[in-house]
């Protein structure tokens, strides 16, 4: 885990943009895990942990990229549509906004919580407008570990969104976390194969409801 908050580099934002055109998952160690509901999910072994990291490519019909980014960044709204959120809030630490997020896990497993920074930028790439969100776990004294909840010590995510040329969005996401503890294989497989497409479907519905409420 990072010892203190820090900013993301320009190259990290640019790298996420490049994935929309030339998926790094198309070859090498990345393996196609599942293709479902127009979503392709790849995975490869994460060297340090032995767990898997994931890359997701897909789309959100009838959800323009600016709306997708707004919905994704709106923590208060996330509490309304994401059934797995137990607690979600944001504090400022040395001028940096830090997010705390507790995720519900099925009984009898312990809930997990995350402490992380994130940043959203809109980039112009050869005339294309691309929204990029980066997130990474950090350690700050404002959010000490809680009894009965397992702190996710390593978490990293990147998200790139642009118009699909119609009324929807083209989406790329990279995701890795180390949930700690001993998780049953069925839960890990469900999260990867079914949880991600289900999340995108929930996100799509959230975008539609968001446009009505704002």
Domain count, the chain: 1
pLDDT(213) > 60 = no
Q: Is 5 part of any domain?
A: no
- pLDDT-based confidence at residue 123 (cuts at 50, 70, 90): very high
For the chain, what is the mean pLDDT? 88
Question: Of the given ranges (3-7, 65-69, 74-78, 151-155), which has the lowest mean pLDDT?
Answer: 3-7
Question: Closest Cα to residue 171, out of 128, 191, 200?
Answer: 200
3-state secondary structure of 210: helix
Q: Is 3 part of any domain?
A: no
Q: Is 175 part of any domain?
A: yes
Mean pLDDT on 204-212? 85
Q: Is 2 part of any domain?
A: no
List pLDDT tens digits, range 34-57.
887 778 999 998 888 888 899 999
Domain ranges, residue 37: 10-213
pLDDT(95) > 50 = yes
| CATH number for the domain harbouring residue 47 | 3.30.530.20
With tokens 């990072």, the residue in question is: 2
Element (H, E) at 76: helix 75-81
CA distance 48 to 55: 17
Q: Is 4 part of any domain?
A: no
- pLDDT-based confidence at residue 6 (cuts at 50, 70, 90): low
129 - beta bridge partners? 124
- pLDDT-based confidence at residue 21 (cuts at 50, 70, 90): confident
Beta strands in the chain (DSSP E): 31-36, 39-45, 52-60, 85-93, 96-103, 112-125, 128-137, 150-151, 155-163, 169-177
Please tell me the pTM assigned to this model: 0.90
CA distance 134 to 47: 21
Question: Of the given ranges (1-5, 92-96, 98-102), which has the lowest mean pLDDT?
Answer: 1-5
Ramachandran region, residue 48 (left: φ > 0; alpha: ψ -120 to 50; beta: rest): alpha
Burial of 51 (0-12, 13-18, 19+ CB in 10 A): middle
């Amino acid at each position: 885990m990072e010892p203190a908050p820090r900013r993301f580099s320009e190259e990290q934002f640019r790298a996420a943009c490049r994935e929309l055109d030339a998926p790094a998952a198309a070859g090498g160690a990345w393996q196609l895990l599942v293709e479902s509901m127009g979503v392709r999910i790849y995975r490869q072994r994460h060297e340090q942990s032995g767990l898997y990291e994931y890359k997701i490519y897909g789309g959100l019909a009838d959800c323009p990229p600016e709306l997708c980014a707004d919905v994704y960044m709106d923590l208060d709204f996330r509490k309304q549509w994401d059934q797995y959120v137990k607690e979600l809030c944001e504090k400022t630490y040395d001028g940096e906004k830090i997010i705390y997020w507790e995720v519900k896990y099925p009984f009898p497993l312990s809930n997990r919580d995350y402490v992380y920074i994130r940043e959203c930028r809109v980039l112009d790439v050869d005339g294309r407008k691309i929204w990029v969100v980066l997130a990474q776990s950090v350690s700050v004294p404002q959010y000490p570990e809680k009894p009965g909840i397992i702190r996710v010590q390593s978490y990293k995510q990147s998200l790139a969104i642009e118009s699909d040329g119609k009324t929807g969005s083209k989406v790329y996401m990279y995701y890795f976390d180390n949930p700690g503890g001993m998780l049953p294989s069925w839960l890990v497989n469900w999260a990867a194969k079914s949880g991600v497409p289900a999340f995108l479907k929930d996100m799509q519905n959230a975008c539609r409801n968001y446009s009505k409420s704002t």
